[in-house]
Every structure is written in structure tokens, then in C-alpha cells.
Amino acid sequence: MACPYLAYRTQAGDAQFDEPRAYCTVADRFVQAMRADICNDRYGLAHDEHCEIYLGCADDGGGGTDQRRDRSGGNP
Ligand code: SF4
């Protein structure tokens, strides 16, 4: 299961793309391709084990419980 903080957007801030790209709603930025593999739990990676951003949220009591997922492609 993908990270609940993962969204796909075509635009954020000054960045704009033709195709939706992986976007971290915690860090408020697009994520690199290698990071997106973690976000999507691909290739044996797991967001709840390998992402320091997610784990930081978990430490704050928010990780894994917040079901925010924006697939609208809109702005934050
Ligand atoms: S796995 Fe990490 S970088 Fe990816 S959406 Fe979740 S918190 Fe953000």
C-alpha cells in the first residue's frame, strides 16, 4: 500500500508538468523517482520503514494514521 501522504500533481508552486508526478504532501514538494519507489512501496521498499519523512510524522503521532491523499491533481 502506498504512503498516505503521496499525491500526484501536475503543478505546485512554480513547478508545472504535463503529466502528474509524485508529490509528498508532508514535505510539500515533488519527489525524485527513486523516492517515489519508496512512496509506492516498490522493489521491496516500504514507506513506513525507509522514508525518514514518514517516520518523522510517525514520531509526531501522525504517521500511518492520516489518510490524506490528494489525487485530484490540484494545488495544495
Ligand atoms: S513516503 Fe515519504 S516522501 Fe513519500 S509521500 Fe510518504 S512521507 Fe512523503
Q: What is the pLDDT of residues 29-41, one digit of tens each?
A: 999 999 999 999 9
Pocket of ligand 1 (CB under 6 A): 3, 5-6, 24, 26-27, 31, 35, 38-39, 47, 51, 53-54
Position 21: which residue type? R
Helix (H) or strand (E) holding 18: strand 15-24
- pLDDT tens for residues 39-53? 999 999 999 999 999
Residue closest via CA to ligand 1's atom 1 equals 39
Confidence grade of residue 58 (pLDDT, cut at 50, 70, 90)? confident
Confidence of residue 63 (pLDDT cuts 50, 70, 90): low
Neighbours of 10 (CB within 10 A): 15
Mutate to test the pocket of ligand 1, among 5, 9, 37 (most ligand atoms within 8 A of CB): 5
